[in-house]
Each structure stands twice: as structure tokens, then as C-alpha cells.
Amino acid sequence: MAKKRPSILVVNDDGITATGIKVLIEEMQQLGQVTVVAPEGPQSGTGHAITIGKPLRIDRIYIYPDVEMYKCSGTPVDCVKLAVNKVFKGRKPDICVSGINHGLNNSINVLYSGTMSAAVEGAIEGIPSVGFSYDDFDYDADFSACRPFVREVAKQVLANGLPKGTLLNVNFPNVPHIKGVKICRQADAKWEEEFDERTDPYNRSYYWLTGVFKLRDRGEDTDVWALQNGYASIVPVQFDMTAHHAIPELNSWSFEIR
């Protein structure tokens, strides 16, 4: 009897027609049976947002002959929720892969990322999950250097699983030949926002948000260092945001509620 192929859920935040998700689908087809649920249009920067107060729709589309594909009117997290509950009907896929994002999701960017939030939602559902991102915003970005790494990371996750509550944040540098893989911690950085203020025809102010990425961490064990030096970075991420180290200190406080 032929061995059953793994079931693979593919999502993203750049939209179902993005080049990155096409590459991810093609690589995952080599590993298992692929199902795609992705936003119908770009959803970058939506973080872990979900749709409340208006209908959610998914529509079947046909691009690849052996791939079940749906476009979704909602956010990347909506896509995962609908996939698990309506497409897989409660069954869990063997892996959830999100991306490949056009643009990095390293360091603090992980908190804003729709790509990574989709992977986080997969992990919350108990599915081994990975988010992939590449340092190129171009619609026609060349993902050739990423392909073998994407396939190998997914292959390893399928073979070994991931610790409970943990997912992987994988980022690729924009270089012709990636040197290898570095297991990293998330670099300490922040965005310094800049607001370009303008005035509309009714004399009301509006703003375009821009910003400068400020790195506060020069450690050679970080994702930023790995990427700057030509390596793919892999950061294990957890969705339990409890600051466990702070609990003893807070327990020492005297709360006098009157």
C-alpha cells in the first residue's frame, strides 16, 4: 500500500496571486498534498487581526490541477481559521506553511506580520507551522535561492514535528547563493515612525506612515546578523507571551486594594 502523503496547508498575506505563494505551493507539492486558503488581495501588516461584524467568504479557484485552492475575503488569520474549520472540517493538516512573504519578517517585524500571524494561528490550532519571508518586495522577485531551503525546512518539520506552542520564523537574504542556515534569536530593534502629513481637499489632515528600522542589538546570534551575513535565519517563536521571569518580582509587590 502506498504511503499517504502529508497534508499541507499553504497561506500567506500578500494575496493568492503573489509570486511568493506560487513558489511555496510548487515546493510543497514535492512533499505532500497541498491545500491553499489565502487572502484575495494584499493583507500585509495586518498582524493577528480577524474579521468581525461583516461576512467572510471563501471561493474555490482553479490554478493548479492537483491543488485545492480557495481565495478568502478576510485576513491571513481568518484564512487559517476557515481552513481548519470549513475546508479541513476539523481535521488537522500535518503542517501549515505561510509565505513566502515579499519582504523580511525578522526582529520586531514578526509582531506586525500577517504572514507570521497566520503561522501563529496554525500553531495555536496544534499544527506544526512555519512562516517564510524573503528580502525582496518586488512582485517579480526571484526566489530561486530560497527554494531548496523552503523545501528542506518543511521536510524537517514534517519528520520531526515542533515543540508544543512553538513555530518557526524563517527569513532569507536577497543574495544569489545563501550560505546556509543559522538558528537564531530575534534581534532587539524597533521602528521609529515618521508621519508624512498632508491635507485633503476639505482641509483635513491625513497621514502616510513611514519609518526607519532601528537596530539596538549587534549580537552575532541574531536573525539580523545572520541575514546581513548571507545566511537564512530560523527563529523558534512561541505564542505564549507571558514574561515568566517577571512573575516572582510582581509577586513581591504589595497590592493594597481599598
Binding-site entries: 13-14, 44, 101
Q: What φ, ψ does residue 133 adopt, rounded to 5°?
A: -145, 150
Closest CA to 170 of 129, 208, 213: 129
Residue 18 in grid coordinates? 503573489
Residues with Cβ within 8 Å of residue 173, at least 6 apart in sequence: 135, 227, 228, 230, 231, 232
What is the distance between the alpha carbons of residues 36 and 57, in angstroms, rounded to a whole number? 14
| Cis peptide, bond prior to residue 100, ω within 30 of zero | yes
Residue 125 in grid coordinates? 490550532
Residues making up the binding site for a divalent metal cation: 13-14, 44, 101
Closest CA to 6 of 181, 170, 161: 161
DSSP string, 30-48: TTSEEEEEEESS--TT-TT
The single-letter code of the amino acid at 243 is: A
Q: How far, in Å, are 80, 111, 237, 238, 246 from residue 241 at the CA level?
A: 21, 11, 10, 7, 12
